[in-house]
């Protein structure tokens, strides 16, 4: 029994030891497995970190890594590359801490082409510097030659000036006798010049006097000629068709009022389409033809009313009253007159000058042309030109032009042209007026024509 018990105890102990060892082995295996996984993770991280600096292919490259290792010596490759990078930055942009943008700015400032190295840029700059140096040397050489030429020119100029001064002294000495003679005869020359100018002035005055006498004679002959033309015109117009100078006042009347209608605002007249009446024609209304005579001042009186044709029939027309005198009503058989219109004869008018028909204070040639058109529209004949024909009935003159003052000592061609234009216009106006007066042709201004034609826009 004792031997069996001892054997059983050993087995138990062995089993216990085996179990403990198994547990310890299992625990150790677990611990070693955990450390192995940690080591694998650390190795993976280390490989990743190493790849950030150099990949496995780059680390195994014998083409460029071996030279770097040989060149780095006892330093690491990374330290060697870092030092090289700082040296290159210091060389390229002047600072070891410069960035790539600083390097790009330096490339732009040096005008480097894309892909061109700094060495190539420096080589180009050195070449351009050499070319510029050669050009500067050539320019300096040319400037030196020009300076030498200028000095030579100055020397020649100074020599010429000295020669001139010597010549002037010699000539002055030679001319001294003639200068003294000139001074002796100068007073005699001045006296002769003064006598000649006096004689010239006297001769000019005598010629002007003779010219004036001849001009007066020409003016007298011209006036006589115009008077003879006027008398000839009177003989040609033996039918006495001038209304302002008619012997029979009844010939001044152009028609009669047939009836008054519409409360006195409209009238019928005995002239129509068959009598060459046109729309818009105006007439003055008088009690009788005897009222159509110039007064003591030579002006014709206005009628007691003015009318304007608004409707035309074959033998009669309707006219509206545009002006009337209070207390003097229009009656049947009153006389109507218009200096332009005549049912049996076309009066001839010469319209000259500028007119202010719209009464705005500005006389224009356009308004004169409108007046000519109105006369033609009312049956008159407008004579064009600046000469009075022998059969003219009326001369109608516009605003009297002012005689301009001639500009003296004026170098302006425009001012002289304007003076000549205004002077010609004034002379022509006065010449026409004088010709008409000498030929006894009635002269009408704008107001007078408006009165004689019944215009009310005065």
User: pLDDT tens across 137-162, in order?
Assistant: 888 888 888 888 888 888 888 888 88
Spell out the residues 6+ positions from residue 245 whose beta carbon is closer than 8 angstroms to its own.
440, 442
More confident position, 298 or 326: 326
pLDDT band at 50 (very low <50, low <70, confident <90, very high): low
What are phi and psi for residue 336, nearest 5 degrees? Answer: -115, 145
Residue 395 near residue 443, CB atoms below 8 Å: yes
Which residues face 309 on adjacent strands?
319
**What separation in angstroms does the CA of 44 have from each of 47, 211, 216?**
5, 135, 137
CATH superfamily of 244-344: FlgT, C-terminal domain (2.40.10.410)
**pLDDT at residue 1 in the model:** 42
Mean pLDDT of 415-443: 86
pLDDT band at 239 (very low <50, low <70, confident <90, very high): very low
Residue 107 near residue 113, CB atoms below 8 Å: no
Which residues face 176 on adjacent strands?
none
34 three-state secondary structure: helix
Instruction: Report the first-to-last Cα separation within the chain, whole angstroms.
Output: 175
Characterize the bridge pairing of strands 335-337 and 255-261: antiparallel
Q: Could you give the CA distance from residue 221 to residue 228 in angstroms, rounded to a whole number?
A: 10
More confident position, 100 or 263: 263
Mean pLDDT of 27-37: 82
83 three-state secondary structure: helix
Q: Could you give the CA distance from residue 231 to residue 417 in angstroms, rounded to a whole number?
A: 39
Q: Could you give the CA distance from residue 330 to residue 265 in angstroms, rounded to a whole number?
A: 10
The answer, yes or no, to whether residue 407 has pLDDT greater than 90, is no
Of the candidate ranges 80-84, 424-428, 434-438, the one whose mean pLDDT is the lowest: 80-84
| % of the chain residues with pLDDT over 70 | 77
The answer, yes or no, to whether residue 357 has pLDDT greater than 80, is yes
pLDDT band at 240 (very low <50, low <70, confident <90, very high): very low
Instruction: Tokens for 65, please give them.
Output: 């890594």
Chain center to CA of 70:
84
Q: Tell me the CB-side half-sphere exposure of residue 411, using CA atoms within 13 A.
A: 0
Global pTM?
Answer: 0.42
Residue 318 near residue 271, CB atoms below 8 Å: no
Crossing angle of helices 65-72 and 77-93, in 10° steps, is: 90
The answer, yes or no, to whether residue 98 has pLDDT greater than 50, is yes
The answer, yes or no, to whether residue 320 has pLDDT greater than 90, is yes
**Among the listed residues 380, 388, 428, 444, the one whose alpha carbon sits nearest the alpha carbon of residue 233:** 388
The count of other CB atoms within 10 Å of the CB of residue 364 is 16
pLDDT band at 309 (very low <50, low <70, confident <90, very high): very high
In eight-state DSSP terms, residue 356 is: -
């Amino acid at each position: 029994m004792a031997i069996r018990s001892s054997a059983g105890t050993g087995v138990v102990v062995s089993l216990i030891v085996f179990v403990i060892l198994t547990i310890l082995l299992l625990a150790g295996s677990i611990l070693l497995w955990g450390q192995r996984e940690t080591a694998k993770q650390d190795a993976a991280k280390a490989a990743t970190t190493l790849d950030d600096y150099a990949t496995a292919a780059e680390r195994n490259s014998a083409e460029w890594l071996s030279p770097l290792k040989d060149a780095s010596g006892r330093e690491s490759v990374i330290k060697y590359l870092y030092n090289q990078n700082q040296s290159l930055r210091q060389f390229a942009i002047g600072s070891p801490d410069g960035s790539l943008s600083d390097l790009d700015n330096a490339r732009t400032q040096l005008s480097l082409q894309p892909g061109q190295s700094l060495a190539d840029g420096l080589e180009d700059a050195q070449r351009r510097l050499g070319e510029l140096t050669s050009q500067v040397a050539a320019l300096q050489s040319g400037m030196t030659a020009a300076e030498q030429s200028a000095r030579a020119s100055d020397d020649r100029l100074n020599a010429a000036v000295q020669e001139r001064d010597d010549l002037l002294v010699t000539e002055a000495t030679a001319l001294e006798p003639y200068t003294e003679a000139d001074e002796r005869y100068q007073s005699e020359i001045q006296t002769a010049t003064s006598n000649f100018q006096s004689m010239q002035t006297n001769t000019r005055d005598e010629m002007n006097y003779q010219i004036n006498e001849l001009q007066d004679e020409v003016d007298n002959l011209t006036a006589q000629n115009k008077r003879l033309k006027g008398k000839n015109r009177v003989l040609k117009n033996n039918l006495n068709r001038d209304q302002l100078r008619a012997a029979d006042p009844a010939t001044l009347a152009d028609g009669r009022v047939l009836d008054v209608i519409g409360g006195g605002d409209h009238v019928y007249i005995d002239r129509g389409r068959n009598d060459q009446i046109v729309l818009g024609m105006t007439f003055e209304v008088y009690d009788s033809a005897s009222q159509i005579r110039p007064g003591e001042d030579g002006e014709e009186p206005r009628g007691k009313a003015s009318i304007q044709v608004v409707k035309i029939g074959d033998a009669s027309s309707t006219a509206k009253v545009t002006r009337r005198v209070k207390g003097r009503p229009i009656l049947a058989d009153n006389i109507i007159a218009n200096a332009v219109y005549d049912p049996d004869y076309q009066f001839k008018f010469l319209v000259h000058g500028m007119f202010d028909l719209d009464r705005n204070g500005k006389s224009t040639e356009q308004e004169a042309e409108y007046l000519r058109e109105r006369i033609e529209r009312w049956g008159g004949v407008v004579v064009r030109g600046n000469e009075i024909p022998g059969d003219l009935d009326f001369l109608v003159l516009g605003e009297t032009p002012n005689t301009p003052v001639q500009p003296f000592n004026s170098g302006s061609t425009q001012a002289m042209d304007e003076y000549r234009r205004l002077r010609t216009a004034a002379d022509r106006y006065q010449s026409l007026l004088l010709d008409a007066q000498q030929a006894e042709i009635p002269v009408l201004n704008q107001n007078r024509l408006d009165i004689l034609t019944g215009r009310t826009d005065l």
